[in-house]
Amino acid sequence: MIDISKISTEERNKHTKNIDMVETKEILRLINEEDKTVPLAVEKAIDQITEVVDVVTNAFSTGGRLFYIGAGTSGRIGILDASECPPTFGVSPSMVIGLIAGGDKALKESIEGIEDSKKAAIKDLRKKNLSANDVVIGIAASGRTPYVIGGIEYANKMGCATACITTSYQSEIAKIVKYPIEAITGAEPLTGSTRMKSGTAQKLICNMITTASMVKIGKVYENLMVDVQMSNDKLISRAKRIVMDVTGVSSDEAVAALQKYNSVKYAIFALISGIKNEDEIKQILNNHHGNIRESLKQIKATFQ
C-alpha cells in the first residue's frame, strides 16, 4: 500500500468541502474559481518549459522524435496532443508519439492496474525502436506512476533526453528526468481527481511544447499554420484564407496557387518570391528547413 498523503494532488481542497451541499450554479462557480489558478501555475513553470522546447526542437531538427508517455488521463492528453500534430503542422505521425498504459483500449476504458507495471512501458518503447536521438516526456500528475517512471528510467539508459510534466510538489519523476516541468496546481476540486486542474495544466503544457517547437522548425509563418493539411472543406478554406492574408492576392489567385502546388507553404513562397518552378521552390525551402522567412532572406540577398 503506497502512502498518497504526501502527494500534493491528493490534498483536500478547503474551498470545495461543501460542494455536495450547494446549488448547481455554485458547484460550477467553485470549479471555475479553481480552474482560474491553473494558468498561473503553468506560468511559474515557463523557464522549465523553455528548456524542454529547445531540447525538442533540437531533436526534431536532427531527425529525432518526441514521445509522450502516461497512464489514464495523463496518457490520453499526450496522445491527443500527438495526434493533432500531423494535420496541424503537416508532419509524419511518427514524429510525435503518445503512449498510454494499456494501449489503445485504455483510451476509452479505464485500465488502472496496468499503470503499476514498469516493464509495460519498456516494452512499449522498445516496440517503437526508441533511440538516443529521441526525447521522452513522462506525464504524471502524481509524479510517481510506475509505468511512467519505468519508461523514463529506460529512456535514460538509452541516452535520450528525458522530461516530465507533473503537478505534484517534489515528485519522484522530477528527480530522475533531465528536464522537469513542475506546474504545481494544488488540491483538486474533487480530492485526487487529477483529470481536473492537473489535466488542464498538462494539456496547456503539451500544447506549448509542440506548438513552440513547430514554430522554431519553420512549420509556422507569422502566426499561420503554413503546413496545414488540406484534408477537408474547412481546412481547404483555411488554406485559401492563409494564402490570401499573407500575400494579398484574390480568392481566385489563392485557389489557383494552391491547386498548382498543393501546399500552402509553396503557394505563399511562390507568390511572394516570384519563383514559379516547384523544384526550385522545394530546393530553396529545404535549404532552410522549410522556414519561409529564412528562404525569403536568401532570395532578397541574391538580388541585392
Q: Choosing from 115, 172, 182, 188, which is the catalytic residue?
A: 115
**Domain 4-216 class, CATH top level:** alpha beta
Q: Tens-of-pLDDT digits for all 304 residues of the chain?
A: 566 767 888 899 999 999 999 999 999 999 999 999 999 999 999 999 999 999 999 999 999 999 999 999 999 999 999 999 999 999 999 999 999 999 988 888 877 677 889 999 999 999 999 999 999 999 999 999 999 999 999 999 999 999 999 999 999 999 999 999 999 999 999 999 999 999 999 999 999 999 999 999 999 999 999 999 898 999 999 999 999 999 999 999 999 999 999 999 999 999 999 999 999 999 999 999 899 999 998 777 665 4
- What was the pLDDT predicted at 103? 93
CA 94 to chain CA centroid, nearest Å: 14
Distance, CA of 239 to CA of 236 (rounded, Å) = 5
Which residues have CB under 8 Å from 86's CB, separation 6+?
Answer: 92, 93, 95, 229
pTM, two decimal places? 0.92
- What was the pLDDT predicted at 28? 98
Distance, CA of 183 to CA of 176 (rounded, Å) = 17
Residue range 233-302, CATH number: 1.10.8.1080
CATH 3.40.50.10490 location in the chain:
4-216
Based on the residue annotation, tell me whether 115 is a catalytic residue of this protein: yes
Tell me the sheet residues that pair with 97: 67
Q: Choosing from 10, 84, 253, 278, which is the catalytic residue?
A: 84
- What was the pLDDT predicted at 304? 45
Q: Which helix (H) or strand (E) holds 66?
A: strand 66-70
- What was the pLDDT predicted at 160? 98
Which residues have CB under 8 Å from 183's CB, separation 6+?
Answer: 38, 41, 42, 44, 45, 165, 166, 167, 201, 205
What letter would DSSP give residue 156?
A: H
- Letter for the amino acid at 239? A
CATH 1.10.8.1080 location in the chain:
233-302
- What was the pLDDT predicted at 142? 93
